[in-house]
Amino acid sequence: MINFIKSLLNKRFQKVYYQGRESLLGHHKRDIVVVQVDQACESLKDSRDEFVDALHKFKSISKLDDSPLEIRYQQLKRHYDLCRSKADQVALRIQAIEQVSEALFAEWEAELELYSNRALRARSQQQLKKSRQQYGRLLKALQIAESRMHPVLAAFQDQVLFLKHNLNAHAIAALRHEFFEIGVDISKLIDVMERTINEASQFVSILVDQKQLPAPAMRK
């Protein structure tokens, strides 16, 4: 019951929030969705780049060189912390997309009844269906990409913790042993991120194209 009340209050707050942005700032929900998806893409790109950098650093640290073990540990931990931070940003972006997209589709569905022209109503309804389908694919892709980060981060954290408590040549040798598996996991993660970024671009294109649709004719 408490969760239901919180959910209801949250939806009412979001409705007032989006109405305020539209009336005061001229920010329509469709435009906010486009911005949120673009920001999610940027977060994914940042995460992708950080994981690639971490992989390169992981490889270099696992090689025998003259740098102190403590320094190599600090470098690896810094890259892990950055990867974790970028992954958290992606999760927050997905939540923001879900909130505004649900508000957009609810409003769109309700406004179908305002059309007096049946042809335009049917056209808008078809566009709504197409947008929902594309959004469903995008959300699934985003969630998959975000979930794929967790096992990679977990394996990365294991190595950082192991190196922290075993700053010796044996620990570095263990890193070399684990490098291949983690490298494969990161490579797969990068592929998923790339596909998700492309999916997001397609979704944005659909929403931008639909801005050309005529507005609903208001009933008198």
Label residue 29 by pLDDT band (50, 70, 90): confident
% pLDDT > 70, the chain: 73
Choice between 188 and 13, residue whose per-residue pLDDT is larger = 188
pLDDT digits (tens, 9 = 90+) for 191-214: 898 889 888 888 888 777 665 444
Q: What is the CA radius of gyration of the chain?
A: 23
CATH number at residue 112: 1.20.120
Spatial CA neighbour of 138 closest among 211, 40, 208, 50:
40
* Separation between Cα atoms, residue 44 and residue 196, nearest integer Å: 8
Residue 179 belongs to some domain of the structure:
yes
Phi, psi for 28 (deg, rounded to 5): -80, 155
Residue whose pair of structure tokens reads 């408490």 in the numeric block: 2
Which of the pair, 174 or 114, is modelled with greater confidence?
Answer: 114
Q: Mean per-residue pLDDT for 74-81?
A: 88
Residue 132 has pLDDT above 70, yes or no: yes
pLDDT at residue 200, rounded to an integer = 87
**Would residue 217 count as lying in a domain?**
no
Q: Across the chain, which distance is largest between two alpha carbons, in Å?
A: 81
Whole-angstrom CA distances from 146 to 39, 133, 156, 185 are: 15, 20, 16, 14
Whether residue 163 is contained in a domain is answered as yes
Could you tell me if residue 11 is inside a domain? yes
Q: What is the pLDDT of residues 144-166, one digit of tens each?
A: 999 989 988 998 898 888 878 87
Within-domain flag for 191: yes
- The model's pTM is 0.73
Structural domain including 81 reads 2-56+66-212
Provide the domain count of the chain. 1
The reported pLDDT for the residue numbered 55 is: 79
